[in-house]
Amino acid sequence: MREIVFDTETTGLDPVQGDRLVEIGCIELFNRFPTGRTFHCYFNPERDMPEQAFQIHGLSVEFLKDKPRFAEKAEELVGFLGEAQLVAHNATFDFGFLNAELERAGRAPVNRERMIDTLLLARRKHPGGANRLDDLCVRYAIDNSRRTKHGALLDAELLAEVYVELIGARQAQLVLSQSTAPVELSGAAIVVRQRPLPLVPRVSVEERAAHRAFVATLGAGAIWLDYISSD
């Protein structure tokens, strides 16, 4: 199962009122594991940067003026997203800006049925608790010391770790089984893979012979005899 965890930075709070997307960071997960594939881009918003927004993310008009416009990167971004489920924290906000930019670029908006909101997941799992991204990092002992300002790619990386904790997938991934059949845990199928080639034995023939000789001195009732094969 492919999922994309993403975060955005903007010039403000409302795309309807002319606020624009200035950064997006995306992390690819496959079966809840990061694959190492990412998409990250800054955008020229073609407008000013309000001081309140600048204090949050530190992206100035001077820094963004030579960056591509969203429409110039829309095809690459849409290709990276594919048909994956899209995970965001307070996802309505990020989806609102993403779809507003896609529509400006003449692209179809992303269906909101693909949306997974980690803020809603956190509120269900920790009702009454603080559920900002920083709060969840503290709750799950995730190192967020690099987060001195908001940054879309770093926030997406942290959110990917938080998301795995919220849905209990980290514990599910640690379950051991000798079965090759999919195991249903936390609503997701986990395929237990077997090593294609066995590890090379670390015990030499001489060491095995010495061990057999030692076990033979223990008498007929020694339990170790049950674990010595005939070969």
pLDDT digits (tens, 9 = 90+) for 49-100: 999 999 999 999 999 999 999 999 999 999 999 999 999 999 999 999 999 9
Euclidean distance between CA atoms 198 and 27, whole angstroms: 33
Which has the closest alpha carbon to 85: 111, 124, 104? 111
Span 121-130, average pLDDT: 93
pTM assigned to the model: 0.72
Euclidean distance between CA atoms 112 and 92, whole angstroms: 9
Catalytic residue among 40, 57, 126, 150: 150
- How far is CA 122 from each of CA 19, 163, 174, 207, 214, rounded to the nearest angstrom? 27, 9, 22, 54, 58
Whether 150 is a known active-site residue: answer yes
Burial 186-209 (b: 16+ CB within 10 A, else e): eeeebeeeeeeeeeeeeeeeeeee
Euclidean distance between CA atoms 137 and 122, whole angstroms: 12
Q: Which domains does the chain have, with CATH numbers?
A: 2-173 (3.30.420.10)
